[in-house]
């Protein structure tokens, strides 16, 4: 009968390949360095090939070591999903859940939804991580996150999504701007050279441009901000106008600023907010219940003044 590697051995290898450091890998695995080293040596003997190049100062994975580590990550994720599926079958809304949130949603959704989630699911331990969409999806696929709140559309592979809200875009302009007296702003009203946007890498930038049909704004934006709070400060200082999602306005992002906000008109002046998870996950019932709870908390509220 063929002898197979253990999950423990594979976990040790993945930790070393990711960190290229025995001490850090041992700390991450909560074992001593000698225990970790012995486990990897056992794996190398079992496979009959070196997986790491060791020197006194460094450790470097061999090409085979990198390949085995990549395959091992998928196996470890699958094993964790087996445990998750068993736990979810017993009690879907209990235990730890690692949730990723994009920066243009997290600061406005989390304070709004967390009290209700804690009250509805007291046995659920939510661990939050905020990052840009590309990195969150990479962490999701690697098994480091269980589910992600993101803005759609966004290219995804091996991921299921469920829409939980539509977040309308509003135009925010400084005092005296030509749009201040309007009831709503159309795409034709938006001058690309006057538009302040988030820097590349934030999906809100692309969704905002698509909502007002300003593809030229990709190159002509006068200023690229790192956060929505930065953008509204620039608007308040008269440097141009920007597009903000309604959830940010409802959270009071304009409080204390002398600016005007008016809705963006058109056929689809919004971004879609969704919850995403791996297709292979065994916790789909957990995610559906979480999505329903988030959807209830994101029901439209009175429009911002």
Quote the pTM value.
0.76
202-248 pLDDT, tens digit each:
788 878 777 766 654 444 455 577 789 999 999 999 888 888 999 99
Q: Are 247 and 164 in contact (CB under 8 A)?
A: no
What one-character DSSP code corresponds to residue 299? S
Cα gap 175→194, rounded to integer Å? 14
72-124 pLDDT, tens digit each:
988 888 888 888 777 777 788 888 999 999 999 999 999 999 999 999 999 99
CA angle in degrees (0–180, nearest 5) for 210-245-176: 95
116-170 pLDDT, tens digit each:
999 999 999 999 999 999 999 999 988 899 999 999 888 877 899 999 999 999 9
Q: Are 151 and 202 in contact (CB under 8 A)?
A: no
What is the structure's pLDDT at 3? 82
Provide the CB-side half-sphere exposure for 2 (13 A, CA). 3
* Token couple for 283: 């916790």
What one-character DSSP code corresponds to residue 198? E
What is the SS3 assignment for 209? helix
Q: Are 147 and 290 in contact (CB under 8 A)?
A: yes
Mean residue pLDDT across the chain: 86
226-237 pLDDT, tens digit each:
789 999 999 999
What are the chain's domains? 7-87 (1.10.10.10), 94-305 (3.40.190.290)
Q: How far is CA 54 from CA 12, 21, 31, 57, 62, in A?
A: 15, 10, 19, 8, 10
Classify each residue of 246-274 as buried b or exposed e, where b means 16 or more C-beta atoms within 10 Å of its C-beta: bbbbbbebbeebebbbbbbbbeebbbbbb
What is the structure's pLDDT at 90? 78
Q: Which of 131, 167, 136, 173 is nearest to 152 (CA)?
A: 167
The counts of H helices and E strands in the chain are 11, 11
Q: Are 245 and 103 in contact (CB under 8 A)?
A: no
Cα gap 105→24, rounded to integer Å? 33
What is the SS3 assignment for 227? coil
Cα gap 223→270, rounded to integer Å? 22
Task: Give the DSSP H/E element, type plus range, for residue 38.
Answer: helix 33-47
* Token couple for 177: 């701007």
What is the structure's pLDDT at 218? 46
Cα gap 189→119, rounded to integer Å? 44
Label the pairing between strands 241-245 and 159-173. Answer: antiparallel
What is the structure's pLDDT at 278? 93
What is the SS3 assignment for 223? strand
What pLDDT band is residue 300 in, cutting at 50, 70 and 90?
A: low
Q: Are 143 and 77 in contact (CB under 8 A)?
A: yes
Average pLDDT (43-57) is 89
Label the pairing between strands 270-278 and 159-173. Answer: antiparallel
Of 65-74, 77-86, 289-298, where does mean pLDDT reach its minimum? 77-86
Average pLDDT (21-48) is 92
């Amino acid at each position: 009968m063929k002898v197979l590697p253990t999950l423990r051995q594979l976990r040790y290898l993945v930790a070393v390949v990711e960190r290229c450091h025995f001490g850090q890998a041992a700390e991450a695995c909560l074992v001593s360095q000698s225990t970790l080293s012995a486990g990897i040596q056992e794996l190398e003997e079992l496979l009959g090939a070196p997986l790491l190049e060791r020197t006194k100062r460094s450790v470097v994975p061999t090409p085979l070591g990198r390949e085995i580590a990549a395959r091992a990550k998928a196996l470890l994720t699958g094993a964790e999903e087996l445990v998750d599926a068993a736990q979810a079958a017993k009690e879907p809304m209990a235990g730890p859940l690692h949730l990723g949130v994009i920066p243009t949603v997290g600061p406005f959704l989390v304070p709004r939804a967390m009290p209700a989630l804690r009250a509805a699911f007291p046995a659920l331990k939510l661990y939050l991580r905020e990052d840009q969409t590309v990195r969150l999806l990479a962490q999701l696929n690697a098994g480091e996150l269980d589910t992600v709140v993101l803005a759609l559309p966004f290219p995804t592979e091996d991921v299921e999504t469920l829409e939980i809200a539509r977040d309308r875009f509003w135009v925010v302009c400084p005092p005296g701007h030509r749009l201040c007296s309007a009831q709503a702003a159309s795409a034709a009203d938006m001058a690309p050279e006057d538009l302040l946007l988030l820097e590349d890498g934030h999906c809100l930038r692309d969704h905002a441009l698509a909502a007002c049909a300003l593809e030229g704004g990709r190159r002509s934006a006068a200023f690229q901000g790192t956060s929505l709070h930065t953008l509204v400060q620039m608007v308040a200082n008269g440097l141009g106008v920007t597009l903000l999602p309604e959830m940010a306005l409802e959270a009071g992002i304009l409080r204390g600023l002398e600016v005007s906000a008016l809705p963006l008109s058109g056929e689809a002046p919004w971004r879609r907010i969704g919850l995403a998870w791996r297709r292979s996950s065994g916790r789909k019932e957990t995610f559906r219940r979480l999505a329903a709870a988030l959807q209830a908390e994101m029901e439209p509220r009175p429009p911002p003044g």
